[in-house]
Every structure is written in C-alpha cells, then in structure tokens.
Structure 1
Amino acid sequence: MDSTPMQRPTLENVRIRTPRDALVVFHGVALKILPLITRRLDIEERRAIAAGNVYVWEERGVNTETVGLGMERWTDGMGWGPSRVRDEFLFYHQKNPDDDCGPITQSPPWARLTRNGESSHFPGYSVSSTFRTLPETRNLIKQTYSVHVSLPADRPKGITRKWHLTAYFSQDTLESLQTVDSIQGIGGMLPPEGWFRSARTTKTSRRENPKSLTYSPPSPHNLTRPYPTGSNYRKEAPSSHIPGTPPSDSEISTDGTSSPLSPTHPKRTMLVPLEHLQSVSGPRRNPVDEQFLNLFSRRC
C-alpha cells in the first residue's frame, strides 16, 4: 500500500487577480510559509482539484534532478481549449467531453464585468469574442504564471530555478473566492526585488528587442557587389560594343579594375540599335549582305 501522503494545494479558496498576487504567493513559498508541490499529482489529487485551488511547483532542472524534485510539466487529467494571454497570464477553458468547439453564444458573467469597466473584480483577465466559452458556469478555467527564481541561498551557487503557478477558478465562484490580500501571513508582504522575474516578460523582450540578438558579421567570401536596380538599367547609356568582337577593358569594369568577388552570373544581352550599327565604321560587308540590309531598312 502506498504510504505517500496526499499533497495539498499551495492555497485553497483563493483567486489570483494580478501578477503582483502571483509574486506574493511565490514569496510565501520561498519563505516556506506556503507549501511547494514537489511531484506530479496522482489520481486522487487530480480529482480533488476545485475552483480556488492554487498550486506552485518547480520545473525540473539541473539543480532538482539530483534530489528527485521538480516536474517536467503540469498534468491534471483534464481537457483544455487553446491558451489566451492577459497581463502575462495564460488562461485555458475546460472542455466538455462533447464539446464541438462551436461559436460563442453568450459571454460569461465575469467577462461582462471586465467589459463594463468593473475590472477591479478581476483585472487579470478579459474575454475576446473570437474564442468559445463553455456554457456551464461550473467548468473550470486554468490560469498559469511562470517566473525565474533567484533565491539568496542559491546565488552563491549560481542556481536559478523556474517556478510555475497554476490556479483554477470558475465563473460562478469568481466573486466568492478570497483574495491574496486576505491571507494571513503573506497578504501584506511585499516581494523583494531581484527574487522573481517573469519568464514570459523575458521571452517577449527578446522578440521585441532585436539588439539583444547576437550579430555575426558576414564572411568576406560571401560578399558580392550589389546588382543594379531596374532604374539603374534605364539610366545606363547604350553600349558601344559591337556583337561578335571582344569587349574592351573599359567595358569589363567601369572602374578599370576587376574584383574576384564580382558575381559570376552572365550579364543580360542587350541589343544594339540598328542606327548605331549603321553609323559605326568598320570592315565592309559582303555586297549581298549590304543589299539585304538596305532592303530591310527601306521596309522599316
């Protein structure tokens, strides 16, 4: 018989309104005032999930593998819809077994509160009309928040942890759940600076700030002289080169030099106007060719 004691949630009957609420909970866990979930929930613990439950757990990393703590991911055995982002939180709606993912027919009451400007009831979330809302108000909504943790005891060892907060609430229990401020022992505490850093903010700043990306200068072997644009082609003077004769040095390179980095692609063949050919003095043609050329000129 398994003697492992049943894990209790980090908090019960509580809702997380803002990222500050989440940081207060993380701080309570760091001070060991609140419990940290150390392993995956078993079947009975999953069945005990209810609105108002809040779980803080550590993602498995190098510092947790040796002691067997931490989890790779959170599993609760429920089906969830796509995630939605709001104030660095991710929200998921529980799916019914017979859910056909059809269109929204009615917005939930707690969503209308946020739309009517009463965001103080739940400032951490709002609903978009492009997502389906489950019809039963008792269906759960999962809320997650993640941070990188730098505890004072871990800093000399260079250890950085990653903690996740997973909270559950429902539409009909939203107003009845307690707030973090009302929790004795942590409600009035201010999380110290430098302990917690939002994992989602880190990802967003990297995407929005291209300067943070490492730039590698191109190799000289990959450099090529720029190709002229279409406007440059129109501005070029007609070539004086006669087809069939070797091009002069000045026609090979405009600056009198050639570069080994120049493109090896063949240049586009440009036809020389007939008037230009007629005005160029050169060796006389065959009399028969002269007759055909004159005949062609008269017809044009």
Structure 2
Amino acid sequence: MQHAATGSSTLYPDAQPYFGVVENTVQALRLVQAAWLGVVPRIIRRLNDTERKEKIVSGAVFIFGVDESGMKRWTDGRLWSPSRIDGNFLVYREMDRKGDGMSKFDRFEEWTPGDDGRAVSSTQEQRQGRFWQSGTTAAENRTANKFKADGLVKKTITVKINGSDHHLICYYTQQDLYMGRFKPMSTRSDIMGLDLSPHIFCFTDFRLPPRLEKGPDGLSTIV
C-alpha cells in the first residue's frame, strides 16, 4: 500500500492544509515556515493520478521540500502556458488544445511593476480588474493552444529555508479569486502567529527580496 502523500510534525497532529490564494512573497514565507514546522502538512511524495484529480482544485496549496520528498520538480499532468513572472513567483495558465474560447474571467496580461516600483501581485491586479480585457493579447494570438475555459491558474515559488529548497504551488481559478471565494490568510491564527524570522531564510535567489525593518531591540523583521 502506498504511504500517505502528506507529512507533518507530531507536535501538530491535527495540522490542516492551507486553502486559498498565496498573494505575495511574505505569505509564501509564512506558509513554507508553517510547513517546515509541521503547522500545515507537507507533500512528501508525488501524487498519484487519483490524488491529482481529487486534490488539485481551485484553492489548493502544496508545499514540499526537495530533500525530504526527493522531488526536484512538481508534476500534475495538466497542460500549461509558458510561465510569466509575477514578482518572485512564476504564473501559468491552464491550456486546452480542444478549447474553443475563453470566458470573461480568462483574460490575462503580462505582469508589470507597480507605480511605486514594487511588484504588484497578479491576484491584486485581478481584483482590480486589470486582468480582464475586452480583447486578447498579442501573446494569446501567437499561441496555437487556447486557455482552458474556467481553467486553473498555477502560481509557484521556491523558498530556501534552513538551507533547504522548498517549493510552493498554488492553484486557483480567476473566477473564484474575482468573486472573493477564498478566506484571507489572516483567518489562520496558527500560521499568522508564527514568528517569521529572517535568519532562517535565504533571499539571494529572489528577484525582489522582502523588505526588512529593524525594531527597537535591534532585530530585523520581515514586513
């Protein structure tokens, strides 16, 4: 019998997975730290076909350590567009070779920096309506395959914690995001209550490292 795909700590036997959207790098750091500690479950092996169908849904978030799982890449059996950069994330759109069109929630445009020079997350822009356009982009016109109607978006990031690479993969539909169907991370006190210590992370591989501030005690915190 195949062992369970998820693992957690004996300190948190009732650890619950995070369900929602990972909007920015700081949220990703919180989730990776939570998974590393066992507050949320980690993926410790590849999902089989049945598990993929059951678990890869809008709002699902998966986190795995390369060393622990033995996996260097995440595979889900779906067809995806080329990646697009969203700050420290890579974002993919689900494709459908047999699709015949896109819904109004499937318009997608290239990521651009915010007005203040900092990264604006794709989720923020989608809520503001900047990802829903009246026409298709030039990139879409050059693509033989079309986005799958009401298909998933996949958002990924790699975080190095205590010297070990951890991959985070978040799935959602633009419609679910636009309609506000996900609870914010602030509702998870078990995750938000963790001390997010900069010294356990390595930020050198990030395009846009998180901002650090020194407190009155002289210690740096991630903001």
- TM class, shorter-chain normalised? 0.5 to 0.7
2: CA distance between counterparts of 1:96 and 1:121?
22
Q: Does 1:24 align with 2:30?
A: yes
1: CA distance between counterparts of 2:121 and 2:159?
24
2: CA distance between counterparts of 1:198 and 1:78?
30
CA deviations 1:253-282 (Å, max 9, x no partner) are: xxxxxxxxxxxxxxxxxxxxxxxxxxxxxx
AA aligned opposite 1:129: T
User: Alpha carbons of 1:93 and 1:179: their partners in 2 closer, same or farther (altered >3 Å)?
Assistant: same
Matched residue, 2:98: 98
Q: Does 1:136 align with 2:149?
A: yes
Question: C-alpha displacement at 1:195, in angstroms?
Answer: 1.4
Question: C-alpha displacement at 1:24, in angstroms?
Answer: 0.8
User: Alpha carbons of 1:50 and 1:80: their partners in 2 closer, same or farther (altered >3 Å)?
Assistant: same
Normalized per residue, the structure richer in strand is: 2
Q: In 2, are the aligned partners of 1:10 and 1:55 still within 8 Å (CA)?
A: no
Q: Which of 158, 169, 190 is 1:146 aligned to?
A: 158
Q: In 1, are the aligned partners of 2:94 and 2:148 still within 8 Å (CA)?
A: no
Q: Which of 164, 172, 176 is 1:173 aligned to?
A: 176
Q: Does 1:161 align with 2:164?
A: yes
Question: C-alpha displacement at 1:11, in angstroms?
Answer: 2.9
Q: In 2, are the aligned partners of 1:91 and 1:142 still within 8 Å (CA)?
A: yes
AA aligned opposite 2:80: W
Aligned ranges 1:201-220 → 2 under 5 Å: 201=206
Q: Which of 183, 205, 209 is 2:188 aligned to?
A: 183
The one of the two structures with greater contact order (alpha-carbon pairs below 8 A, sep at least 6) is: 2
Question: C-alpha displacement at 1:80, in angstroms?
Answer: 0.4
AA aligned opposite 2:40: L
SS of 1:71 mapped into structure 2? coil
1: CA distance between counterparts of 2:160 and 2:38?
17
Normalized per residue, the structure richer in helix is: 1
Give the TM-score of the pair, scaled to structure 2. 0.66
Aligned ranges 1:250-261 → 2 under 5 Å: none
Aligned ranges 1:32-181 → 2 under 5 Å: 32-48=38-54, 49-60=56-67, 64=68, 69-99=69-99, 108=106, 122-123=123-124, 127=131, 129-132=137-140, 134=147, 136-137=149-150, 139-150=151-162, 160-174=163-177, 175-181=180-186
1: CA distance between counterparts of 2:78 and 2:24?
25
Give the TM-score of the pair, scaled to structure 1. 0.51
2: CA distance between counterparts of 1:14 and 1:169?
8
2: CA distance between counterparts of 1:88 and 1:124?
16
User: Alpha carbons of 1:193 and 1:120: their partners in 2 closer, same or farther (altered >3 Å)?
Assistant: closer
Question: C-alpha displacement at 1:7, in angstroms?
Answer: 4.0
Question: C-alpha displacement at 1:96, in angstroms?
Answer: 0.9
AA aligned opposite 2:147: L
AA aligned opposite 1:145: I
User: Alpha carbons of 1:105 and 1:43: their partners in 2 closer, same or farther (altered >3 Å)?
Assistant: closer
User: Alpha carbons of 1:109 and 1:98: their partners in 2 closer, same or farther (altered >3 Å)?
Assistant: closer
Q: Does 1:194 align with 2:199?
A: yes
2: CA distance between counterparts of 1:73 and 1:184?
30
| Identity in percent | 24
SS of 2:175 mapped into structure 1? helix
Q: In 1, are the aligned partners of 2:82 and 2:92 still within 8 Å (CA)?
A: yes
Question: C-alpha displacement at 1:181, in angstroms?
Answer: 1.5
Judge which range, 9-18 or 88-97, deviates more.
9-18
AA aligned opposite 2:23: R
Q: In 2, are the aligned partners of 1:59 and 1:70 still within 8 Å (CA)?
A: yes
Q: In 2, are the aligned partners of 1:83 and 1:90 still within 8 Å (CA)?
A: yes
User: Alpha carbons of 1:98 and 1:121: their partners in 2 closer, same or farther (altered >3 Å)?
Assistant: closer
Q: In 2, are the aligned partners of 1:141 and 1:168 still within 8 Å (CA)?
A: yes
Aligned length: 179
2: CA distance between counterparts of 1:11 and 1:143?
17
Q: Which blocks of at least 5 consecutive residues in structure 1 are unaligned?
A: 151-159, 206-300
Matched residue, 1:279: none
Question: C-alpha displacement at 1:130, in angstroms?
Answer: 3.9
